[in-house]
A and B are shown apart, each in its own frame.
Chain A
Amino acid sequence: MSPSSPRLEDLAPGQAVPELAMAVTRERIAAYAEASGDRNPLHLDDAFARSVGFPGLIAHGMLTMGHLATCLTRWAGDPGALRRLRVQFRAPVLAGETIVAGGTVREVDPVERRVVLDVWVRLEREGRTEHPIRRGEAELRLP
């Protein structure tokens, strides 16, 4: 726990988790492919990605989910606080884009010390906001 960790008693529906940004570089995608073991050529081979209709390399959906989890566990101050995370991958993230993860409190359960959040990952592309992850759901346990 860090000194800035949220106290369950101070949380209420609608409160925001501080957003966290990450640059999704080609190097990061390649490092994630190695570390996760997902070496699908969509994430490593520009020519292949273009041959199946993308403008170039795309990031793993799981990399964007991993970043979302980082945003949540940093907020909680404890990697063990995250108990459940469910997402749908709605739009690809292209190499070179910057993603922003965030969430809002939906439900606070003081008996189970449980917080349910609506979570997402967004990015700006050509002046529009896209959501690689929207309507995700997370559950955390706080001390």
Chain B
Amino acid sequence: MPLNPALEGRAYPPVRFVVESERVRRFAEAVGSAGADDGVPPTFATAPEIEAGLARVVADPELGLDFTRVVHGEQEYEWRRPFRVGETLEVRSRIESIRTKGGHGFLTIRTEMLDEDGETVVLARSTLIERGEV
């Protein structure tokens, strides 16, 4: 079943995500960045992006995404400042585009993470590819 193009532009309700020190520590170890001077790894952004954003988009029954055929195509982050341990983020995701090319579906999701003052901390753009049936 192809992706439902009518969902282009759909925004999902914002979700809160707390930047917990233990979660940061485990993430930093996994990406080999757990040194004393390393701080919060910039790509820690992936945790709130997935948990509060992507997970709900890909589970949207109206989208018709077959997760067993999904691979990650592209990823982009734009950081306005580093994360602070203990802060609470508001995470907003929306479907930026839905395209079909060469039998594959391309889903681009835009996620914005804001701090308690409403300032943008990180902008994320993720393109998932739903591989065509073989």
Contacts and interface: CB of A to CB of B under 8 A. Distances in A.
B71 A37 contact: no
A87 B43 CA distance: 12
Interface string A59-76: 011110111011001100
B41 A79 contact: yes
A92 to B, nearest CB: 8
Contact of B39 (A35, A36, A79, A86): A79
A9 interface: no
Given A67-B32, A84-B77, A86-B76, A35 B43 contact: no
Given A79-B41, A80-B82, A35 B50 contact: no
Contacts of B38: 70, 73-74, 79
For chain B, the bracket of interface size reads: 35 or more
Interface stretch (A11-19, A26-34, A111-119, A123-131): A26-34
A94 to B, nearest CB: 14
Contacts of A84: 76-79
21 contacts: A2-B37, A32-B30, A37-B55, A62-B43, A63-B30, A67-B31, A69-B31, A69-B41, A69-B43, A70-B31, A70-B32, A70-B38, A73-B41, A74-B33, A78-B39, A79-B33, A80-B79, A84-B79, A86-B74, A89-B72, A89-B74
Given A74-B33, A79-B40, 12 more contacts: A35-B27, A35-B30, A37-B47, A62-B46, A66-B32, A66-B41, A70-B32, A70-B41, A85-B42, A85-B43, A87-B76, A89-B71
Interface of A: 2, 20, 22, 28, 31-32, 34-38, 40, 52, 60-63, 65-67, 69-70, 73-74, 77-80, 82-89
Interface of B: 23, 26-27, 29-33, 35, 37-43, 46-47, 50-51, 55, 67-79, 81-82
